[in-house]
Structures are given as structure tokens and as C-alpha cells.
Amino acid sequence: DTAVSQTPKYLVTQMGNDKSIKCEQNLGHDTMYWYKQDSKKFLKIMFSYNNKELIINETVPNRFSPKSPDKAHLNLHINSLELGDSAVYFCASSYRTSEQYFGPGTRLTVT
């Protein structure tokens, strides 16, 4: 069984479009995260949710809006996509804020 899953795995879209990435975890964790890994391979935290409440919101454009309908899901919606949004986006989860378990990633390409 997949512990942390993301859909879609690949996403190709044009500038200006709005898209969503979904994340689900079946580990019973109470904290979920979104990370962005750019072309230089640096992995940076974007958001963190604990029990459906936002606890970290790094310097991210407000075009990015996370939504957590329940503890097992954390979706990422991106409005007005730009070329610079092209990256791999990883979802992760943890119990409280102990070690994190990552999903397989979503490779977003904006053309």
C-alpha cells in the first residue's frame, strides 16, 4: 500500500492556467507538507498543515493555495501558472513534526 500518494505524477500546462495537485496519506499522520524542488534540485518547504490548520507558510506567491479537507489530504491549487512554477512538487506527512515521509512527486511543466 502506498503511504503517501500524489496525483497526477506529471502535469504539463500552459502559462496562465489554474491547476491542482492532490496528496493523500494513509499513515494516520496529523501533519502534512508541500515542498518544491526546482531545476537546481534544492528542496524547499512551502506549506505545512497540522490537523487541517496551516502552521507554516513560507514566502510563496499567493497564487499557491493549499487546502486540507481532512487530516489525510492536502491539496495544492495554483492559479495563473508561470514558467517559474515548473518544478517537482513533493507532498510529505509526519506524526506531529517528527520524521517526514514523502510522496513520489508531481513534475509540473509550464509552457
Partner 1 sequence: DAKTTQPTSMDCAEGRAANLPCNHSTISGNEYVYWYRQIHSQGPQYIIHGLKNNETNEMASLIITEDRKSSTLILPHATLRDTAVYYCIVRVLYGQNFVFGPGTRLSVLP
Residues in contact with partner 1 by the rule CB under 8 A: 4, 33, 41-45, 48, 55-56, 90, 92, 96-105
Dist CA 35 CA 87 (whole Å): 10
Cβ 50 to partner 1, closest distance in Å?
Answer: 10
DSSP letter string, 78-103 = E-S--GGG-EEEEEEEESTTSS-EE-
> 31 or 81, CB closer to partner 1?
31
> 23 or 78, CB closer to partner 1?
23
Sign of CA dihedral 70, 102, 58, 96: positive
Cβ 16 to partner 1, closest distance in Å?
Answer: 28
Are 35 and 44 in contact by the 8 Å Cβ rule? The answer is yes
> 4 or 81, CB closer to partner 1?
4
